[in-house]
Amino acid sequence: MDVSKLVGKTFASEKEREAELQKLFEADKVEYERQRGDDKQFPINEKTQQIYLKECLGQAGGVGNYFFQDMWAAREIYRSNIKHVYDIGSRVDGYVAHLLSMEVQVTLLDIRPLPQKIEGIDFIQTDAMDLSNIHDNSIEILSSLCALEHFGLGRYGDPIDYNGWKKALHAIKRKLKIGGTFYLSVPVGKQDHVRFNSHRVFNPISIVNEMLPECILQEFSYINLQNSRIETCLKNTACLLSLDLLIQSSLSDYHSVREIVNKNTFGIRTGLFVFKKLSYPPPPPDTLK
């Protein structure tokens, strides 16, 4: 529809605007029939029409937090050359689909059932606050994108558990192999708070504290929708070096995260974390307590 004909017009109500769009639709229909003429291939059947009036006012596409987090995690998996990933609660039609397109096998863990049998997905119905039916020290790569913030709030049929997010993180630490990697995204901001029963917002340090001392923070980033970018605040490259250097590097990184949070120039965003499970975990830094 030629929406340029609406430029400069004002409408007293949405109903009035829809009436103008209906006129554009009818004009398009007349033009279509004129061009079809006597051709029999694609006639308009009045009984099977599907009329859309407002799509012509939209944009070519839109991207939000899910787009960037799914792309971020899938790209990390691609670069790792890993061919099997465990995932807790991420979007099947987003991130998981990206992995399947790269021929990465996914073991999907969710408290809700998955009725469809999808090639490339092994599904295990489980409570992520416990993960009792998953072997300890068995997972090399695990991801969970925008799921942890919901645990224990009842939104997805899970039992109410005030500490559900903590229990899930501790379960994840138990299930990771030594040297295993955990990719996580959650809403982050300066103050921990809950928007019951939708989700929690985390101070990033709260997440880091719960992962210590078994897991070290390798990366912290956040999604900046204002400039459509992922802003990387820190990336620890010393994780596989000596323990002393690891502790020194991690302390520096934690100070960096705390400084970022205290400045809080980004408001509430989606935070992206990468953790690595250590064989000899350093003690948790006192400065974070």
Q: What is the pLDDT of residue 263?
A: 66
Rounded Cα distance, 13 and 231, in Å:
41
Q: Hey, what's the torsion of the CAs at 148, 154, 158, 163, to 10 degrees?
A: 50
In 3D space, the residue among 263, 202, 272, 187 whose CA is nearest the CA of residue 231 turns out to be 272
Q: What is the pLDDT of residue 285?
A: 53
Query: Residues 109, 110, 113, CA angle at the centre, nearest 5°?
Result: 120
CATH number listed for the domain at residues 65-288: 3.40.50.150
In 3D space, the residue among 206, 282, 201 whose CA is nearest the CA of residue 241 turns out to be 282
- Please report where in the chains the tokens 């690595």 appear, as a residue: 276
Quick check: 145 and 98 in contact, CB under 8 A? no
In 3D space, the residue among 145, 142, 92, 110 whose CA is nearest the CA of residue 272 turns out to be 145
Cα 22 to the chain's mean position, in Å? Answer: 38
Beta-ladder partners of 141: 181
Quick check: 97 and 152 in contact, CB under 8 A? no
Q: What is the pLDDT of residue 256?
A: 64
Domain boundaries, the chain: 11-57, 65-288
Report CA Rg, the chain: 25
Phi and psi of 190, rounded to 5°? -75, -35
**In which residue ranges of the chain is pLDDT below 70?**
237-267, 280-289
Q: What token pair was written down for 286?
A: 């006192």
- Please report where in the chains the tokens 């009436």 appear, as a residue: 19
Rounded Cα distance, 169 and 145, in Å:
13
Model pTM score: 0.84
Quick check: 186 and 222 in contact, CB under 8 A? no
